[in-house]
Amino acid sequence: MRPPRPLVIGHRGASGYRPEHTRSAYELAISLGVDAIEPDIVATRDGVLVLRHENEISGTTDVATRPEFADRRATKRIDGVSLTGWFTEDFTWAELSTLRATERLPALRQTSATFDGTEGILRLRDLLQILDAGAERTGRAISVVAEVKHPTYFASIGIPLDELVADELKRWDEGDRIIVECFEQTVLDEIRERGVRGRFIYLLEARGSAPDLVARFGSKALPYSAQLTDAGLARLAKHVDGVSLDKALLLRPTGTDLVTRAHAAGLEVYTWTLRPENRFLAPERRIGKRAADWGDWRVEFGAILGTGVDGIFVDHPDLGVTARAEVTGET
């Protein structure tokens, strides 16, 4: 069932104002009026679900400065990409809990970076408690949009994210506040089969193919573009409740048509990620020369909402709430 108005989803919390996936980022997002919060979910060696943008954590924690963990630095291949750094699956939760969070984009978000080192890493269960407390405080039912990261990779090393995520979510809610999303349809099917009640959203890039399909079919994997044809959308609608699209797809002249076709297939449509800084805006919406300066975000956010999407992922929740009000006429 499509939401009655577009959802404003705090992307990793209020990650435009505080280091992402921290308690303050989540609590600020709730205070700024989000309908839901999106965490990225990875796992530790001992099977604890933790909230980080990626399983490689040198860009979002102080791990690289910690001499006791110097020997954990490694090079791995994750979804076809070679990465060097420190990975959550090489730590226990007890070890990770000693790290401090840092701003992922310090050159761009210098104000947020002043909060570096003030907070630790959270688990999925910690966020779910924050959502409950926020709902009680505000009187709003705040949902989780749980993004499962790299499930094929984690399965290959013996960490079943489908099982771990399903167990955590089933303990928390009956499904009214649960949305699960992933770039891999396989894990969405697996989590649903494990009895999680909620909505399941398939993430699609503007180019390339899904990691689970690449793992299975290699160069013959179906590209995302083929999944966005009428036939592809109809196939997806048999398995998922919606799709979440790279905003670049909606900024094209065919953006509204894509949303209309997805709705016709019975799918909800979400998009990521709306940000006000010049670096992330379409060239014609940039103001000034500095990447960190805010450009004409109102026009871009409004154009995306004007396509008829059912939800937007935003780093600055107050801007998403404002843009929605301007488009829908809310007061």
Q: What angle do the packed helices 124-138 and 161-172 form, to 10 degrees? A: 30
β-pairing verdict for 7-11 and 199-204: unpaired
Mean pLDDT, all residues of the chain: 97
Q: pLDDT tens digit string along 152-209?
A: 999 999 999 999 999 999 999 888 999 999 999 999 999 999 999 999 999 999 999 9
- CATH 3.20.20.190 for domain 7-328, yes or no, is yes
Omega of the bond leading into 88 within 30 degrees of 0 (cis): no
Write down the pTM of the prediction: 0.97
> By C-alpha distance, which of 7, 42, 12, 16 is closest to 26?
12
Count Cβ atoms below 10 Å from residue 123 Cβ, excluding itself. Answer: 19
Residues 228-266 as b/e (b if ≥16 CB within 10 A, e otherwise) read beeebbebbbeebbbbbbbbebbbeeebeebbebbbebe
pLDDT surpasses 90 at 2: no
3-state secondary structure of 223: strand
Q: Which two tokens stand for residue 97?
A: 């809990």
> By C-alpha distance, which of 228, 34, 3 is closest to 13?
34
pLDDT surpasses 70 at 6: yes
Instruction: Note the pLDDT of residue 283.
Output: 96
Average pLDDT over residues 320-324: 98
Measure CA of the first residue to CA of the last residue in the chain; give whole Å: 25
Instruction: Name the residue with higher pLDDT: 2 or 325.
Output: 325
Instruction: Note the pLDDT of residue 3.
Output: 78
Element (H, E) at 7: strand 7-11
Q: pLDDT tens digit string along 102-149?
A: 999 999 999 999 999 999 999 999 999 999 999 999 999 999 999 999
Q: Which two tokens stand for residue 276?
A: 């006000």
Q: Residue 1 — very low, low, confident or very high, per pLDDT cuts 50/70/90?
A: low
Instruction: Note the pLDDT of residue 329.
Output: 87
Q: What are the residues whose beta carbons fall under 8 Å from the beta carbon of 59, sequence distance 6 or more?
A: 53, 85, 102, 104
pLDDT surpasses 90 at 310: yes
Instruction: Note the pLDDT of residue 51.
Output: 98
Alpha-carbon span 316 to 28, nearest angstrom: 10
Q: Which two tokens stand for residue 30?
A: 């709730």
Average pLDDT over residues 267-279: 98
Q: Where are the domains of the chain?
A: 7-328
Instruction: Note the pLDDT of residue 331.
Output: 63
Alpha-carbon span 44 to 281, nearest angstrom: 35
